Amino acid sequence: MYKRMYIYFFVSFLVVVSGFMPSYFLELGENDVAHHIHSLSAILWYLLLISQAVLIKQKKNNLHRIIGKASFVLAPVVIGSAFHIMYVSQTDLKMDAFWTLTFFMVDHGMILAFAFSYFLAVRFTKQIQLHARFMAITALVVLPAPLSRLMGASLIPDLSGMARLNIVYILVEVIFVIILFRDRELRFTKNPFSFFFISILVIHGIVNFAGNSIIWAEYSNLYISAYSSASHIVNIGWLAGFLSLAFAIYLSKLRGASESVS
């Protein structure tokens, strides 16, 4: 399965591009710089995943490690720009309040799951099987948004928005279940997919109630006010902190490897 991981990453990439084709790629001139930065960073992330999987398949481990360092810059840009897009979406007066809050929850779930899975991928760089799985999770947890858009624009346009979201989450959950069973067949005991599968189930449940939640609406207002008052400081500090943390973990791994050799 993992020898063909580049194929799965490429399919995920096609889903993302297809999902955002009507609202972004066909409307490039209508989108702002923030959307361009986020889209470019997301595209580069998928290209990184695909190329890294190909390099591992070809046993070019040294080149894999060199290119992998780019993720220390790319991942914070993906996450930071996603937080900004989430702020922009919350201040979009054209969208219904119910859907604004609903997608606020969807986006929260995707961003936090992506960030945590990437952090763990860096943490377990030396454990190849764990590292590969955590990187695969970064591609899986962001699928709800593009899949929902793809279904609404092309596949099932007459289906209600919430029904589409539920179907999308079920599809992602089914993918996780398939992978879990596959890993069980491979007798891989340290399976990170279990935690993220449960997380997706929880997010799926909450998404159905977020649009009508007073508490979530209050949090949304707090997020908007906090972001707008200190957006630049928060973004720069968050990105710098995340980058420093990832780099510190990488250096600790290098020191550990050098000590073991000596």
pLDDT tier at 219 (50, 70, 90 boundaries)?
Answer: confident
More confident residue, 254 or 206: 206
Amino acid 84: pLDDT? 85
pTM for the structure as a whole: 0.82
Per-residue pLDDT at 158 exceeds 70: no
For 110-117, what is the mean pLDDT? 92
Please report which confidence band the pLDDT of residue 230 belongs to, taking 50, 70 and 90 as the band edges.
low
> Which residue ranges make up each domain of the chain?
2-261
Share of the chain above pLDDT 70, in %: 81
- pLDDT single digits (tens) 125-140: 888 888 989 999 999 9
Q: Please report the DSSP string for the chain in residue order.
A: -GGGHHHHHHHHHHHHHHHTTTTTGGGGGGS-HHHHHHHHHHHHHHHHHHHHHHHHHTT-HHHHHHHHTTHHHHHHHHHHHHHHHHHHHHT-TTS-HHHHHHHHHHHHHHHHHHHHHHHHHHHTTTSHHHHHHHHHHHHHTT-HHHHHHHIIIII-TTS-HHHHHHHHHHHHHHHHHHHHHHHHHTT--S-THHHHHHHHHHHHHHHHHHTT-HHHHHHHHHHHHHHHHHHHHHHHHHHHHHHHHHHHHHHHHHHHHHHHH-
236-253 average pLDDT score:
66
Q: Per residue in 25-59, pLDDT tens?
A: 878 778 888 888 888 999 999 999 999 999 988 88
CA dihedral 253, 255, 260, 262 (to 10 degrees): 160
Contact 115, 138 (CB under 8 A): no
pLDDT given at position 2: 61
Specify the higher pLDDT residue, 253 or 133.
133
- pLDDT, average across residues 88-98: 76
**89 band by pLDDT with thresholds 50, 70 and 90:** confident
Alpha-carbon dihedral sign for residues 230, 232, 234, 237: negative
